[in-house]
């Protein structure tokens, strides 16, 4: 490869700045890459301020070729995951590299060695912290930019990871519903209306004036609904509120729907405006000196309608005792009606587990198109 490759452990604030900055040199010419806000990435990785690290620890490294950083990775031990699933799995995330197998070997050998020393028996990823955050490697759908809180990678990443010895653990799919091309079936809408009357279920947006109380209700639904899902990690109240406070900055309360039956919240669905369409305008990922003005102009000001026409349906949770009602697909008919009215004619449902047949069939009935596939890999640490 030329110059000798050197591994460096991330220790200082300057190291972390260089770690966070690497994607700008790798993706600068890629029109589909969306630059994240550097402050947001730094906040995720801040082991003193992010409540995730009350039950987890992280170690990170970079690989240099001369003075140039050419790869990075972080390894995570999440005690909450391992306690819940009764296993010893470590994770890798924040993975970026040039197209070179030797760089990947150095990064993964280092991450796996550290995780083995922590008592881990399996390496899984890419997962940025846990499945409650960004996860999965893009393996299909490279012709469009990712939606908010979804990953993007070049096509060669998969071959590099598989070359190191990773095997597929699970695929996650993204489906697009484009109201400009398809219309929701009148029969499906009529069914949804009959369903709501028969089961006395009503839908409403989140009440921002009672935000803390609403978050408590949503958390109880989330942890109950997702308990048996693959890779699920229950969220404690402090971590959930920390995530919610960050999302509050971009939340459209009309897109966060709560289903109630006789006044009891039984299910919720969260859709977020696709602020990635705006972040592409803040190319350096910095809020200062002018980045915050661009964000305000496009997110809250007159520029919003010019660039943002898409939302992402992030999660859907139904209390277990109500899951037999079939309320899940009804949420999508609600979004089909509300989205275009609110300025979001396009919606992406992501991610959907490959073996979630009920939800995948419901989306296909609505003529949703599978647009992207993300893969999570496993390797036993021998």
pLDDT in tens, 187-233: 878 888 888 888 888 999 999 999 999 999 999 999 998 888 899 99
Burial (CB < 10 A; 0-12, 13-18, 19+), residue 210, is exposed
Please state, in angstroms and rounded to a whole number, the distance separating the CA atoms of residues 203 and 374: 31
Residue 381 lies in a domain: no
pLDDT digits (tens, 9 = 90+) for 148-158: 999 999 999 99
Helix or strand or coil: residue 278?
helix
Q: Can you give the pLDDT at residue 287? A: 63
Last residue of a domain, one of 129, 157, 172: 172
Please tell me the predicted confidence (pLDDT) of residue 300.
64
Among candidate residues 144, 172, 200, the one where a domain is terminated: 172
Residue 149 and residue 187 share a domain: no
Domain boundary among 122, 155, 172: 172
Q: Answer yes or no: is 382 within a domain.
A: no
Q: What is the mean pLDDT of residues 330-342?
A: 86
Q: Is 53 helix (H, G, I), strand (E, B) or coil?
A: helix
pLDDT by residue (tens digit) across 286-332?
Answer: 765 556 666 665 666 665 666 889 999 999 899 999 888 878 878 88
CB 74 within 8 A of CB 223: no
Q: Which CATH number belongs to the domain containing residue 133 in this structure? A: 3.40.630.30
| 93: pLDDT strictly greater than 70 | yes
Query: Number of structural domains, the chain?
Result: 2
Q: Could you tell me what percent of the chain has a pLDDT over 90?
A: 71
- What is the C-alpha to C-alpha distance for residues 134 and 79, in angstroms, rounded to an integer? 18
> Taking all residues of the chain, what is their mean pLDDT, rounded to a whole number?
91
- 66-92: average pLDDT: 97
What is residue 74's predicted lDDT score, i.e. its pLDDT? 98
Token representation of residue 294: 């661009």
Nearest to 21 by CA among 45, 50, 48, 47: 45
Residues 183 and 167 grouped into a single domain: no
Rounded distance between C-alpha atoms, residue 111 and residue 165, angstroms: 14
Task: Express each pLDDT in 248-259 by its tens digit.
Answer: 888 899 999 999
Q: Are residues 247 and 105 in the same domain?
A: no
One domain for residues 188 and 133:
no
302: helix, coil or strand? coil
Residue 295 maps to a domain: yes
Q: Are 275 and 151 contained in the same domain?
A: no
Burial of 115 (0-12, 13-18, 19+ CB in 10 A): buried
CA dist 262 and 244 (Å) reads 26
* Domain annotation covers residue 67: yes
Q: Does 320 share its domain with 335?
A: yes
Do 34 and 121 fall within a single domain? Answer: yes
**pLDDT for res 304:** 64
Judge whether residue 88 has pLDDT over 90. yes
User: Do 85 and 166 fall within a single domain?
Assistant: yes
- Domain region containing 39: 5-172
């Amino acid at each position: 490869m030329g110059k000798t490759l050197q591994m460096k452990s991330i220790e200082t604030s300057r190291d972390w700045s260089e770690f966070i900055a690497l994607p700008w040199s790798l993706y600068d010419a890629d029109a589909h890459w969306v630059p994240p806000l550097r402050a947001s990435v730094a906040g995720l990785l801040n082991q003193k301020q992010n409540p995730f690290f009350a039950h987890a620890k992280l170690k990170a490294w970079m690989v240099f070729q001369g003075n140039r950083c050419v790869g990075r990775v972080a390894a995570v031990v999440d005690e909450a995951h391992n306690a819940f699933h009764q296993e010893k799995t470590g994770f890798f995330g924040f993975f970026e590299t040039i197209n070179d197998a030797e760089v990947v070997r150095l990064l993964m050998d280092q991450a796996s060695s550290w995780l083995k020393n922590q008592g881990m028996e399996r390496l899984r990823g890419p997962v940025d912290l846990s499945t409650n955050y960004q996860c999965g490697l893009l393996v299909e759908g490279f012709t469009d930019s990712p939606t908010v809180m979804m990953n993007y990678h070049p096509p060669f990443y998969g071959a590099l990871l598989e070359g190191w010895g990773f095997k597929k653990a699970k695929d996650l799919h993204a489906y697009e519903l484009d109201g400009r091309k398809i219309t929701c079936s009148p029969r499906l809408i009529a069914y949804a209306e009959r369903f709501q009357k028969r089961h006395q279920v009503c839908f409403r947006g989140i009440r921002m004036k009672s935000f803390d109380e609403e978050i408590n209700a949503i958390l109880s639904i989330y942890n109950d609904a997702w308990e048996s899902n693959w890779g699920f990690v229950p969220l404690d109240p402090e971590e959930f509120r920390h995530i919610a406070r960050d999302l509050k900055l971009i939340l459209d309360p009309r897109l966060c729907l709560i289903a109630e039956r006789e006044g009891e919240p039984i299910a919720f669905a969260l859709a977020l405006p696709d602020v990635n369409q705006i972040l592409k305008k803040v190319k350096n990922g910095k809020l200062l000196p002018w980045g915050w003005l661009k964000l305000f102009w496009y997110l809250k000001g007159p520029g919003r309608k010019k660039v943002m026409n898409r939302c992402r349906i992030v999660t859907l949770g139904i209390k277990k005792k109500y899951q037999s009602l079939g309320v899940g697909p009804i949420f999508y008919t609600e979004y089909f009606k509300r989205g275009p009215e609110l300025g979001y004619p396009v919606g992406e449902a992501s991610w959907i587990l490959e073996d979630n047949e009920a939800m995948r069939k419901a989306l296909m009935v609505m003529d949703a198109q599978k647009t992207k596939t993300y893969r999570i890999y496993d390797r036993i640490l021998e």
